């Protein structure tokens, strides 16, 4: 397990949901996918969800699946309505300039270290 | 479940009951108890911003009632997939959640246009979703398979040109 805040430092992660306490979130893996049903079928709680999708349904999918944090790759930043919904549901929304491949690779090496 | 209106019209029916759950199902049909709580939500066609509200309400209520988090996750996923299916594929419908003390029964009834081949719709990866639906990241062809995987019993009744009923049961323990 690693702390989300340690992962964020390694990926130049920007927190879009400052109202949430990110210090309590720990990760034991990630799921990388842009198809929402596949995420619901296979992602697990304690995993970060790495995606480029940033519309409102993404928050619902994370909430239903029990995912604590969504990491938006390639500098994607969500709309205010999406950020509000994420805050309401207690799901952290992080933006990183890195592509999904690197985001997964960095988390993988941090977990194996 | 066994007395559903759609079944009376001889439509195509699909059933999946998780092995080992047959007796629990028989028992819950035979006692014919009234639901403790009934929640109803309208699901408009192609309204992806609101589809999910019903599932979210149900999830929050069950969480307050102390339902186990893994069971809660299964209910939320199955119910959200079904809600999205109604929004994505039908001309609109409704979701009715019947909450009992040991299980939940959720019914999704739409106004058509129906599923021509239910067995094909159950195949993971098969999808008839249009471009709009796919743009949202839906349409992977995993909706019904995900519902089946997460429910204890699933019943689908439909045919081409007719309304569809998708309903499932999930026990809390």
ipTM of the assembly? 0.88
Question: What are chain B's domains?
Answer: 38-171 (3.30.565.10)
Angle of CA points B83, B73, B25, to nearest 5°: 80
The minimum CA-CA distance between A91 and chain B, rounded to whole Å, is 14
> Do the Cβ atoms of A34 and A94 come closer than 8 Å?
no
> Do the Cβ atoms of A21 and A44 come closer than 8 Å?
no
What confidence score (pLDDT) does residue B27 get?
Answer: 83
Which residues of B are less than 8 Å from A65 in CB distance?
73, 76-77
For residue range A42-97, what is the model confidence (pLDDT) as tens digits? 999 999 999 999 999 999 999 999 999 999 999 999 999 999 999 999 999 999 99
Residues near B87 by Cβ (< 8 Å), separated by ≥ 6?
B43, B44, B45, B46, B47, B48, B51
Compare all CA atoms of chain A with the CA of B53 and give the residue at the minimum distance: A60
What confidence score (pLDDT) does residue B30 get?
Answer: 83
Checking if the pLDDT of B11 tops 80, the result is no
What's the pLDDT band for B98 if we cut at 50, 70, 90? very high
Residues near B122 by Cβ (< 8 Å), separated by ≥ 6?
B14, B144, B145, B148
Q: Which of A37, A55, A66 sits opposite B81 (nearest CB)?
A: A37
What's the pLDDT band for B24 if we cut at 50, 70, 90? confident
Please state, in angstroms and rounded to a whole number, the distance separating the CA atoms of residues B20 and B59.
25
Q: The whole model's pTM is what?
A: 0.91
CB atoms A41 and B145 under 8 Å: yes
For residue range B130-163, what is the model confidence (pLDDT) as tens digits? 999 999 999 999 999 999 999 999 999 999 999 9
Radius of gyration from C-alpha coordinates of chain A: 12
Chain B residues whose C-beta is within 8 A of a chain A C-beta are 48-49, 51-52, 55-56, 59, 69, 73, 76-77, 79-81, 84, 136-138, 140-143, 145-146, 149
For residue range B45-64, what is the model confidence (pLDDT) as tens digits? 999 989 999 999 999 999 99
A2-112: CATH number: 3.40.1390.20
Instruction: Work out the mean pLDDT of chain A and round it to a whole number.
Output: 97
SS3 A46: coil
């Amino acid at each position: 397990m690693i702390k989300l805040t340690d992962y964020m430092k390694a990926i130049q992660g920007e927190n879009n949901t400052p109202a949430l306490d990110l210090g309590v979130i720990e990760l034991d893996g990630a799921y990388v996918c842009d198809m929402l049903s596949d995420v619901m079928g296979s992602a697990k709680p304690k995993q970060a969800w790495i995606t480029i999708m940033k519309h409102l349904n993404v928050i619902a999918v994370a909430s239903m699946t029990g995912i604590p944090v969504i990491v938006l790759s390639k500098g994607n930043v969500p709309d205010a309505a999406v950020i509000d919904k994420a805050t309401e549901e207690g799901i952290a929304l992080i933006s990183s300039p890195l592509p999904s491949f690197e985001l997964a690779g960095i988390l993988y090496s941090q977990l194996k270290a | 479940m066994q007395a559903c209106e759609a079944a009376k019209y001889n439509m195509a029916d699909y059933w999946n009951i998780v092995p080992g759950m047959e007796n629990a199902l028989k028992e819950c049909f035979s006692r014919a108890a009234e639901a403790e709580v009934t929640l109803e939500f309208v699901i408009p066609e192609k309204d992806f911003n609101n589809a999910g509200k019903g599932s979210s309400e149900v999830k929050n209520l069950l969480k307050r009632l102390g339902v186990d988090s893994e069971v809660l996750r299964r209910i939320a996923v199955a119910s959200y997939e079904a809600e999205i299916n109604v929004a994505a594929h039908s001309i609109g419908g409704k979701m009715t959640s019947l909450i009992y003390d040991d299980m939940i029964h959720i019914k999704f009834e739409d106004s058509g246009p129906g599923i021509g081949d239910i067995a094909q719709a159950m195949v993971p990866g098969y999808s008839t979703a249009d471009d709009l639906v796919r743009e949202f990241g839906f349409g992977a062809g995993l909706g019904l398979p995900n519902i089946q995987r997460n429910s204890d019993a699933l019943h689908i009744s439909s045919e081409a040109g007719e309304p569809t009923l998708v309903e499932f049961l999930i026990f809390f323990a």
